[in-house]
Chains A and B, each alone.
Chain A
């Protein structure tokens, strides 16, 4: 299967807009679950408004949130797929620029020193494009995540040491949730990266924060930690929007990598309640949109 760059550009444009408008079904189900279990009256009201907003966005064909985020595109290339990698990256960038200009979307992206906004949602190194590979034959998937800044501004890395053990990881996650309070637009998906190098650890935290709800860490130790951390952070009472309640996090997600004998790194990256993402699969039958 050969991938056509023009089609990639159109899909990259479409994915940005779709992601901003329609929440994935797993996140909608997450809201229903939290609303059912919430015991605090204010929190129930807050969750109700969030659920209403999802419907209003769909009914009025509008964006869920004003924050168009930093655009991230995750590309997974299967087997027997022929693609010009450099052209693929350029096509994604063009699609992202076109979505911003043509819709029009607020460009939330500026040069980090001059703070100049090119009104394209692009700049040096942005959109973030990550390319990986899979065993799926004849399949290339592009996932788009518009990462909002309220949650992204609450990101942390701690290079703990082996003597501090797994307790350092647990304590760090709880303290990050306390520090974030209402600033991250809870209920959140708390993404935790464990192990690796410092940069890999942070990347794992982002992957964990943007993983669909209802999925578990592939590593059984990581999965067990997800369960206990989810339960623990939801006893803190931060609640939706930091106004109190049981629903502080939809879930804590963990992704891990092996690390050095002298290291014990942990990173936290959060995803807000508007946990937006959209995906498109290129197959021999055509392009199939999903989440």
Chain B
């Protein structure tokens, strides 16, 4: 159970060094992705000017405040509350996110499925778990909204955050076929019969 401080972009070797139950703290750039912007990118052939190769992407759509653009808020957006959404809805986008855009790390909550786990192994990627619903804390790790693309989809724009000490995050799925979610799920399903027996279900 090692700890890794990572400043993306990261290499194939760096992501393959991550193992489930390790922890990661991110520094520097973190992109914000979401249902609508991934539908736009992968189903509607829209293009982003952002270079995501080697980067980390957070499943999010933040609360933001419009402000006068400044050095602190170059996009004219100040973060109000930045949290993490349920990853499972975006399962089918993991493959193109890694294969086409070169993303290495997906940061989310609740986990991804078997197809994502295969994509992590094939392309060199990992899933880092944030504790969902703890956005007030997460917001304290965000320094600024550096840039925004596809902003017609607001709040589901493609966000570029600058973060400091974003974590610790738990490596919950790795590039070696390890998934904490799959392990917990199969253990829980094995306990189903016992739970029903307790309830007197025959």
CB-CB under 8 A for A66 and B196, given A52-B137, A236-B191, A238-B184: no
User: Is B180 part of the binding interface, using a Cβ–Cβ cutoff of 8 Å?
Assistant: yes
CA distance A49 to B82 in the complex (A): 16
Q: Are A153 and B86 in contact (CB under 8 A)?
A: yes
Interface residues of B (CB under 8 A from A): 36, 60-66, 80-86, 88-89, 109-111, 129, 131-137, 139-140, 154-155, 170, 172, 180-181, 183-185, 187-189, 191-192, 194-196, 198-202
Q: Which of B111, B154, B195, B199 contacts A242 (CB 8 A)?
A: B111
Interface centre among A108, A115, A174 (most CB of B within 10 A): A174
Contact-size category for A:
35 or more
**Shortest beta-carbon distance, B78 to chain A, in Å?**
10
**A193 CB within 8 Å of chain B:** no
Cβ contact within 8 Å between A178 and B85: no
- 20 A-B pairs with C-beta separation under 8 A: A49-B131, A56-B136, A64-B136, A66-B61, A66-B81, A66-B85, A68-B63, A150-B133, A167-B201, A170-B196, A170-B201, A178-B188, A182-B110, A233-B195, A236-B188, A236-B195, A238-B188, A242-B184, A243-B170, A272-B133
A54-72 interface with B by 8 A CB criterion: 56-57, 60, 62-68
8 Å CB contact of B135 from A52, A65, A183, A240: A65
Q: SS class of chain B's interface: helix, strand, loop or mixed?
A: mixed
Q: Which of B84, B89, B180 contacts A66 (CB 8 A)?
A: B84
- Chain B residues within an 8 Å CB radius of A236: 188, 191-192, 195
Which A residues from 224 to 238 make CB contacts under 8 A with B?
228-229, 231-233, 235-238
State in angstroms the CA–CA spacing of A242 and B112 once bound together. Answer: 11
A117, B155: Cβ atoms closer than 8 Å: yes
* Residues of chain B contacted by A274 (CB below 8 angstroms): 133
Q: Specify the chain B residue showing the minimal Cβ separation from A47.
A: B131
Assembled-state Cα–Cα distance A150/B135 (Å)? 14
Contacts of B84 in A (CB 8 A): 66
Residues in chain B near residue A66, CB distance under 8 A: 60-63, 81-85, 135
- Cβ–Cβ < 8 Å partners of A181 in chain B: 110-111, 181, 184-185, 188
Flag whether A137 is at the interface (Cβ < 8 A): no
In the assembled complex, the CB of A70 is this many whole angstroms from the nearest CB of chain B, namely 14
A153 touches B89 (CB 8 A): yes
Asked if A280 is at the interface (CB within 8 A of a chain B CB), the reply is no
Q: Mark A184-222, 1 if CB is under 8 A from B, else 0.
A: 110000000000000000000000000000000000000
